[in-house]
Amino acid sequence: MDVYLPIANLSVNALVIIGLGGLVGILSGMFGVGGGFLTTPLLIFYGIPPTVAAASASTQVTGSSVSGVIAHSRRKGVDYQMGGVLVVGGIFGTLAGAALFRVLQQLGQIDTVINIVYVLLLGSIGGLMAKESLASVRALRRGEKLPAKKRRHHPLVANLPLRWRFYRSGLYISPLAPLILGFVTGILTILLGVGGGFVMVPAMLYLLGMGAQVVVGTSLFQILFVTLVSTMVHSLTTKAVDIVLAVLLLIGSVTGAQLGARFAQKLPPEYLRLLLATLVLLVAARLAIGLGFRPAEIYTVELLK
């Protein structure tokens, strides 16, 4: 079934895109991540121009985080105050990211930068996750319990001036820390089309020291608003949001997420984390190899308006 994408200016097989969205949806349902880090590279691999892929993927992430935010807020799993600070940081991040995007595009280096950032980010976070989950899987096999980690924020965070109380997160820290974290993930959202959950969740746990019960909900809350702003910024600057592409992806991912959530209940969380870590590392390795190999196309055309 061929569908013409009016912004990407090419026709794609709708079933392939829906299937791709479904696959990403299953993973996001299983692991509680947005899955943007898979959507963008897969779309580029399929032949969608990188800018359109990143812009439309961020639109899709908005849709796929809605029901998560609703579910978590019912459970009181969202710290709105913390989320608000993160969103403000995120909005500044998207604006700064848009400026950076334009400069890199003019230099012709946007694709390379997207790839390198992906490799570094996925490689380091995947590595950390793999290390942590391997330790807990081993402990699980031996029947031991890992010593409960003391929940503490990073000394760097403790040294920042000005302190606020974040009741739901159980924190008394400077709002500058989440503001900066939001800013960084905002840049990533614009550049890569990712929600940034896979950066935010570990940062909230290990840098800010937030309570685990509000981490995922608050992260989803921030992702929802920042991808929303990112869609607007892309619409106004790059004009690369393909609404048809986003809808096809969403049809797949919304369905897939429900299936994924059911799979997740059948697997122990330690194994789930190890699986996710493996997947992230595989994507990073594939992209890293791609940087070094002679690409299929040496030449690329960019239209001047």
Partner 1 sequence: MKAAWRIALCLAAVLLTGASEPVLVPEVSQRDIQIQYGFTGAELLLFGAIVYPGGTPPARDSDIVVILKGPPQSIVLREKQKIAGIWINAASSEFRSAPGYYAVASSRPIEKIVDKRTAAIYEFGLDNLQLSPAGTIDPEEQRRFLAGLVDLNRREGLYKQQEGSVEILEGVLYQARLSIPASVPTGTYTAETFLVRDGQVLAAAVREIEVRKFGFELLIANVAEYRPFTYGVCAVLVSLALGWLGGVVFRKI
Distance between CA atoms of residues 28 and 276, nearest Å = 10
Q: Which is nearer to partner 1, 156 or 301 (CB)?
A: 301
Q: Work out how close the CB of 278 gets to partner 1 at its nearest, in angstroms, rounded to a whole number.
A: 25
Contacts of 198 (CB under 8 A, 6+ apart): 33, 37, 122, 125, 280
Q: Work out how close the CB of 187 gets to partner 1 at its nearest, in angstroms, rounded to a whole number.
A: 19
Q: Which is nearer to partner 1, 171 or 254 (CB)?
A: 254
Q: Which is nearer to partner 1, 1 or 156 (CB)?
A: 1
Q: Which is nearer to partner 1, 60 or 133 (CB)?
A: 60
CA angle, residues 215, 67, 6, in degrees to nearest 5 = 115
Q: Which is nearer to partner 1, 157 or 247 (CB)?
A: 247
Beta bridge partners of 12: 3
Q: Provide Rg for the chain, Cα atoms.
A: 19
Q: Work out how close the CB of 240 gets to partner 1 at its nearest, in angstroms, rounded to a whole number.
A: 9
Q: Work out how close the CB of 36 gets to partner 1 at its nearest, in angstroms, rounded to a whole number.
A: 13
Binding residues for partner 1 (CB under 8 A): 2-4, 6-7, 9-11, 59-60, 62-67, 70-71, 108-109, 111-112, 116, 228, 231-232, 234-236, 239, 241, 243-244, 246-247, 250-251, 254-255, 257-258, 291-295, 297-305
Three-state SS for 144?
coil
Q: Work out how close the CB of 182 gets to partner 1 at its nearest, in angstroms, rounded to a whole number.
A: 19
Burial (CB count within 10 angstroms: exposed 0-12, middle 13-18, buried 19+), residue 206: middle
Phi-psi region of 299 (alpha: psi -120 to 50; beta: other; left: phi over 0): beta
Beta bridge partners of 11: 4
Q: Supply 106's token pair.
A: 């003019």
Distance between CA atoms of residues 23 and 20, nearest Å = 5
- With b meaning 16 or more CB within 10 Å and e meaning fewer, what string describes 272-287? bbbebbebbbebbeeb
Largest CA distance in the chain: 64
Q: Work out how close the CB of 8 gets to partner 1 at its nearest, in angstroms, rounded to a whole number.
A: 9
Q: Work out how close the CB of 106 gets to partner 1 at its nearest, in angstroms, rounded to a whole number.
A: 10
Q: Which is nearer to partner 1, 25 or 178 (CB)?
A: 25
Q: Which is nearer to partner 1, 118 or 166 (CB)?
A: 118
